[in-house]
Structure 1
């Protein structure tokens, strides 16, 4: 059973939201994501990137938008595959599952953005497909939903509790064993 790191949607829109003052949680999540990525690379373990893209030219996720580009710290290396998705789940609109099966990867460690949206959808679908999934709770980011009066920490905690209840193992960055 091979284990791989799955990095979801670490694109410029994440930092843009933070710079606009959108509340996010946990505060150290991006640093923790970098630590997890470094651990996988140093151990020579597979790293897989997923990015969101839209065909709508006005969308921040359109390929022409700077906000759709990967954050510099999360750009892929030459041997790291990138899957471009147009749906919330990384499995719905990509060949991710086929790649994982061919590479004999059956366990994913998930980090990235955004916990209540693409991370949630990807983890649930991956579990339904029979993959063993670990979510690093302090290496995924949540944003507030102000129009619903829901804070980032509240969304984060509920989302990860639901994932931990039935779809994944949810651990802290300090508990991660890459090997």
Structure 2
């Protein structure tokens, strides 16, 4: 799955960890997901970022829907344990962004403003779900002029149904998102190993 192209990761590139929350473990009990190793990959990248003193953005989805496992005040809204135990442990800048829509750039505080204030031009996006909040955040980051890298195997999603009875498996939905991002020029879609190699 690796590409031949070397991915250079800037010394101040921000890792944007999108919606790695307990509620998705509940969803996985009834809906098939892909990338069973994704949580491992996300944890690895947080560790690499914190060890190198690079900035980390933790994004939390505060759903306004009363039936959502990500709703505020419910345990599913919390970050997964491996994320929570890493927060505040790095030597670099860190920020928590909360949102109620797909894009982390439409949350609070203003992510684009924070990144620009820190002099950050490159972001590496990981998290859940590949074809929803990860893809939307990466697309918008590209539109706003950031150099966006998406670590494909450090994301996952679920089977999904669309119009006309069309269904995509989790892997099909994730691949479609990756093709949209990479083929559309919004982001470079690479593997975790490529990102780690680019950190140097």
TM-score higher than 0.5 here?
yes
Q: Deviations over 1:15-51 (max 9, x none)?
A: 2222x14211112111111111111111111111111
Unaligned 5+ segments in structure 2 are 1-9
User: What residue is the counterpart of 1:83 in the other structure?
Assistant: 97
2:152 to 129, 137, 141: 137
User: What residue is the counterpart of 1:169 in the other structure?
Assistant: 188
- Secondary structure of 2:23's counterpart equals helix
Unaligned 5+ segments in structure 1 are none
Distance 1:61 1:173 in 2: 26
Paired residues, what number? Answer: 178
Q: Deviations over 1:65-113 (max 9, x none)?
A: 1111111111221652101001111112331111111111110011100
2:175 to 132, 146, 157: 157
Distance 1:178 1:66 in 2: 34
Using the size of structure 1 for normalisation, the TM-score is 0.92
1:44 to 53, 65, 69: 53
CA shift in 2, pair 1:133/1:22, >3 Å: same
Contact 2:24 2:69 in 1 (8 A): no
Kindly state the Cα deviation for residue 57 of structure 1 after the two structures are TM-superposed. 4.0
User: What residue is the counterpart of 2:121 in the other structure?
Assistant: 106
- Whether 2:141 is the aligned partner of 1:126: answer yes
User: What residue is the counterpart of 1:92 in the other structure?
Assistant: 106
* TM alignment of 1:56-67, pairs within 5 A: 56-67=65-76
Using the size of structure 2 for normalisation, the TM-score is 0.83
Distance 2:66 2:31 in 1: 24
Kindly state the Cα deviation for residue 114 of structure 1 after the two structures are TM-superposed. 0.3
- Whether 2:51 is the aligned partner of 1:30: answer no
Kindly state the Cα deviation for residue 56 of structure 1 after the two structures are TM-superposed. 4.0
- Whether 2:199 is the aligned partner of 1:178: answer yes
- Secondary structure of 1:100's counterpart equals helix
Contact 2:21 2:70 in 1 (8 A): no
